[in-house]
Structure 1
Amino acid sequence: MAEYNTIRTAATGTRAAQIDEGLRAHMNKVYGTMSVGMLLTALAAWALSGLAVSDVPTPYQIGAEKWLTSLGQTLYLSPLKWVVMFAPLAFVFGFSAMVNKMSAATAQLVFYAFATVMGISLSSIFLIYTSTSIGQVFLITSIAFAGLSLYGYTTKKDLSAMGTFLIMGVIGLLVAMVVNIFLQSAAITFAVSILGVLIFAGLTAYDTQKIKTTYVQYAQSGDSEWLGKAAIMGALNLYLDFINMFMFLLQLFGNRQ
């Protein structure tokens, strides 16, 4: 009996080690996919903002010796601006609904396409804020995100109870932002920005722990295709947490041109 228990303990330890190794690979894929998406977003935003602004005078001046090109006028002044603004949201809903029908490779390509579309939507920040403040806020967001994600990965506290509360907070933020489109209240904008930072900070820790626990729960199934798609959805969730935290911090601390 003692020999049997020893063998069983050794087998359990070996399986646990395999799960730990698989978890590290899974998290590396999540962060790697997210990082590529962030790079695509930054490149798309920067490239498009460069094409939208010119030093050649046009009817639409946006700053000292800065004018909108015909492309900039089309993107930011025509009804197309609403398409550019809401395209990422439509992308997220469509992706979430269709991901189970996709292969992991297709899901990854769709995520990268979404990240590029998000960059197009965010390109206007380069026209509103100085490049220095964008860089500074990005650095602050990166440090905060790394700390929060590390906390979510390492903490023994169950963060699942936060999920419903945080999602309700996101819905409340969306409602307040839509209402403020018509009210144009500086006080509401400030309050929404502060709450947005806090909510997406919490979601960063929550989503990181959820990615970890989901992998541990389903690792024994051996379904590599499902785990591959789970990694991409995890990358999408963390990507959205980062982008939203960055945007709310930029509204609070960004220096306008």
Structure 2
Amino acid sequence: MSQYDWAKTAPGAGAGTQTQQIDVGLRAHMNKVYGTMSIGMLITALAAWAISGLATTTDPSNAAAQLGNGTLLTSFGTLIYGSPLKWVIMFAPLAFVFGLSAMINRMSAATAQLVFYAFAAVMGLSLSSIFLVYTGFSIIQIFLITAISFASLSLWGYTTKKDISAWGSFLIMGVVGLIIASIVNIFMQSEALMFAISAIGVLIFAGLTAYDTQKIKNDYIAHAAHGDSEWLGKAAIMGALNLYLDFINMFIFLLQLFGNRE
């Protein structure tokens, strides 16, 4: 029986008060998680849009290169998309995730939040190339589909009585497999493998959305009684990071599957 269930059923006059305090605190905690994640998403979207605008031009006299689809690149666009710097940009978000996860215990909650927002901006730089590959309408359409799917899955993960903690190890193994397969396909350029990666990726991150939501809820319930506001602040940021990654990856894989290319 979880601590939350115990609080609901424990005898004594204080049990109801304790449960009510946990419920109120949990709502505030989840609001902070979703709020932090939403700000991160906004930063990513604005960064991606602004950088793609700086990287492309409609004036041939200002173009430094031209892509196969006719898109004209500025010298800045050639630097970030056509030079070895593109590999640094591609893997920089991954380095941020590992760095934040490893160092968060040595950071204050405020510092961790700033690092998360910096990560969101770097992710925007990494994702800016989608505006060169897919139509603007397609990007918006897939984003809305992802948002509806994410909200439904997260709500289910929050409200379900089923314990899905056993999904964790399986899903993480799936993510590792996706990373390895994606790196291999950078060199193979196999459309069939890319389709398989995208389809499996959607399923894995759909599962992770529900799993991470339930885990954020259960972690709060398990630690709320300790009253460690600093820990809870960091937990909210890490929860926002996990859900942010679930959303972004589900969006990318859906875009690869169903997006209309330029």
TM-score by length of 1: 0.95
- Map 1:76-87 to 2 at 5 A: 76-87=81-92
Letter in 2 for 1:14: T
1:7-22 matched pairs, under 5 angstroms: 9-22=12-25
Please list the CA deviations of residues 57-100 of structure 1 after superposition, one character each: whole Å capped at 9, or x if unmatched. 23522367631000000000011001110100001111111100
> Aligned AA for 1:22?
G
Count how many residue pairs are aligned between Structure 1 and Structure 2.
251
Q: Counterpart of 1:166? A: 171
Look up the equivalent residue of 1:114 and give its one-letter code.
Answer: F
Q: Of 31, 34, 52, which aligns to 1:49?
A: 52
Match of 1:256 in 2: 261
Structure 1 residue runs without a partner (length 5+) = 1-6
User: Residues 148-183 of structure 1: CA distance to partner in whole angstroms, max 9, x if unpaired?
Assistant: 000000001001100000000011111111111121
**Alignment correspondent of 2:5:** none
Instruction: Select which of 210, 213, 219 maps to 2:218.
Output: 213
Q: Does 1:101 align with 2:106?
A: yes
Q: Identify the range of structure 1 (49-58 vs 221-230) with the bigger mean alpha-carbon deviation.
A: 49-58
Conserved in 1, the CA contact under 8 Å of 2:64 and 2:78? no
The alpha-carbon deviation at position 8 of structure 1 amounts to: 5.2
The aligned runs of 1:21-170 (5 Å cut-off) are: 21-57=24-60, 58-62=63-67, 66-170=71-175
SS at match of 1:160: coil
**Secondary structure of the equivalent of 2:72?**
strand
SS of the residue corresponding to residue 13 of structure 2 reads helix
Deviation per residue, 1:169-216 (Å, 9 max, x gap): 011111111111121111000000000000000000000000000000
Name the aligned partner's letter for residue 20 of structure 1. Answer: D
TM-score (norm. length: structure 2):
0.94
Moved over 4 A (4+): none
3-state DSSP of counterpart to 2:100: helix
Whole-angstrom distance in 2 between the partners of 1:176 and 1:63: 26
Partners of 1:112 and 1:186 in 2: how far apart? 34
Tell me whether 1:188 sits opposite 2:201 in the alignment. Answer: no
What percentage of aligned pairs have identical amino acids? Answer: 73
Query: Could you tell me how far apart the structure 2 residues matched to 1:150 and 1:249 are?
Result: 20
Shift of 1:223: 0.3
Residue 9 of structure 1 aligns to a residue whose secondary structure is: coil
**Residue 140 of structure 1: CA displacement?**
0.2
Structure 2: tracts of 5 or more residues without a match: 1-9
How far apart in 2 are the matches of 1:65 and 1:256?
12
CA distance in 2, matches of 1:10, 1:242: 42
